[in-house]
Structure 1
Amino acid sequence: MSTLVAVLALLALLVVACGLYLVATANRLDRLHVRMDAGWAALDAALARRAVVARTVAASALTGAEAERLREAAQDAEAVPRPERELAENELTRLLGAIDRTRLPRPLADELADAEHRVVIARRVYNDAVRDTLALRRRRDVRYFKLAGTARLPEYFEIAEPELDPASALPRPRTAARVVLVDDQGRVLLCRGHDPDPDGAPSWGTVGGTVEDGEDLRAAAVRELKEATGLDTPGDRLVGPVWRRRVETTVGGRPVSGTEWYFLAETTATAARTSGTTELRWWRPDELARCGEPVHPAQLPQLLPEVLDGGWDGRLRSIR
């Protein structure tokens, strides 16, 4: 009888463990879909802005058949359904690429170049999200237990990228993974020198860095945390991503646009390797509010008490 009870208890534990694993996987998949939807919204907005600028170019700087073709291509790119969108956007790219930019007024040429930069960035960010989502959805456990539910299968958005001016082209968009590491005293660990202001002033930011090509956000956060503090934290111990932040800054005189994804992790003050350097420091929320140097994200003094007191509510928040 006791053997039967032990076997049943073991089976029950196994079922519970499998259930928890599937729930965690489903939650992760849901977060990836949220990230992908946000990426598509940003891409759709960037493409819409390019179409508006293209119509402005057609109306104010071109004449005759050239202006009419560009105007119609811009309207088609905005009006066609999603399955035909790639062809329409490629046609608009082709027509814009054939324009002699020296004929355009300088402000209009700059606005067109900026719109094209943003399309390139938004498309790459969206496709990165699609890649990560597809990688998880192709796993056997996700397919067998139908963890994706009725969500449509993600699709890459493949268009010919406009040829950007090398003198003003933006670098590859920066996707970063960061960790809001808090200790048992309610303090957050910040690194000095992160995300400098345009005037070169130093600032304080959370531990983290750029996601490498082909690297998962959570894996990047684990790697960056270990490099900065020596903490070898399992990926499933990271909560989130809890926040998303758009970054517009300048590095080496060139503009940079990217997205930062923030995870939450807990530790003790003695576990993290922070001694021997002035670049890492534990901060209480009230100390951050009085900090004489810029803090990134700017809302950290207000956001930190929320996650410390009430925990994460499961919703991804956009912050500044």
Structure 2
Amino acid sequence: MTTFLLVLGAVIITIAALWAVFTAQRLNTLHIRTDAALAQLQAMLDRRAAVIGALIPSLAPITTKTEAVPLRHGKLGERSQLERELNVQVQQAVASDESLVHTISSNAQLVDAETRVQLAHRFYNEAVADTRALRLRPAVRLFRLGGTAPLPDFFEYSFQLDYS
């Protein structure tokens, strides 16, 4: 009977250890995915800002300022705020100059950049949701399987290119 209990205990400990290792590996993969998605989101936001700066030269200073702020985990709010300000400036520029409506809506580079930003935003927030779902499980938190990596935050972006 004691041999059976020892074997059963060893099996349970082995299963728990394997679960912890596989969960830690999955978390590592999710963090890598989140970091890659964040880098891609920054690249697409920078590209969009550069295209806007080229199309509307009066907005070049704010686009340069927006591009200068990097996206980092835990510090997404500043870039998000600058993106909102840039979007407001674009809307105001289009409202004050009717010729910009056709220029912006027919510019393939801007439409492409905006589409890529929307996709990168979606991919990043999905990666964050997956990472947070696993990191916030009680057993994962209890055994600290997330390591020292910061818990990623969602990026708020709601601009739609529609000037027709």
TM-score in terms of structure 1 length = 0.45
Aligned pairs (5 A) from 1:286-297: none
- Aligned mate of 1:94, from 88, 99, 104: 88
Show the counterpart of 1:118: 116
Show the counterpart of 1:73: 62
In structure 2, the CA distance between the partners of 1:45 and 1:23, relative to structure 1 (3 Å rule), is same
Structure with bigger strand share is 1
User: How many residues are treated as equivalent by the alignment?
Assistant: 154
Percent of pairs with identical residues: 40
Show the counterpart of 1:145: 143
Matches of 2:22 and 2:153, distance apart in 1: 24
Larger relative contact order (CA 8 Å, sep ≥ 6): 2
Matches of 1:137 and 1:105, distance apart in 2: 42
Compute the displacement of 1:40 (Å). Answer: 0.9
Show the counterpart of 1:299: none
In structure 2, the CA distance between the partners of 1:48 and 1:21, relative to structure 1 (3 Å rule), is same
Structure with bigger helix share is 2
In structure 2, the CA distance between the partners of 1:6 and 1:105, relative to structure 1 (3 Å rule), is closer
Compute the displacement of 1:7 (Å). Answer: 1.5
- Matched letter for residue 94 of structure 1: V
Matches of 1:25 and 1:164, distance apart in 2: 43
Contact 1:113 1:164 (C-alpha < 8 Å) held by counterparts: no
Show the counterpart of 1:45: 43
Matches of 2:129 and 2:68, distance apart in 1: 27
Instruction: Determine helix, strand or coil for the equivalent of 2:156.
Output: coil
Compute the displacement of 1:132 (Å). Answer: 0.9
Aligned pairs (5 A) from 1:1-320: 3-59=1-57, 67=58, 70-82=59-71, 83=75, 84-98=78-92, 99=94, 100=98, 101-102=100-101, 104=103, 109-164=107-162
Task: After the TM superposition, list the runs of 4 or more consecutive aligned residues in structure 1 that deviate by more than 3 angstroms.
Answer: 100-103, 163-166
Matches of 1:71 and 1:116, distance apart in 2: 17
Compute the displacement of 1:103 (Å). Answer: 5.2
Matches of 1:165 and 1:35, distance apart in 2: 34
Instruction: Determine helix, strand or coil for the equivalent of 1:148.
Output: coil
Matches of 1:157 and 1:106, distance apart in 2: 25
TM-score in terms of structure 2 length = 0.84
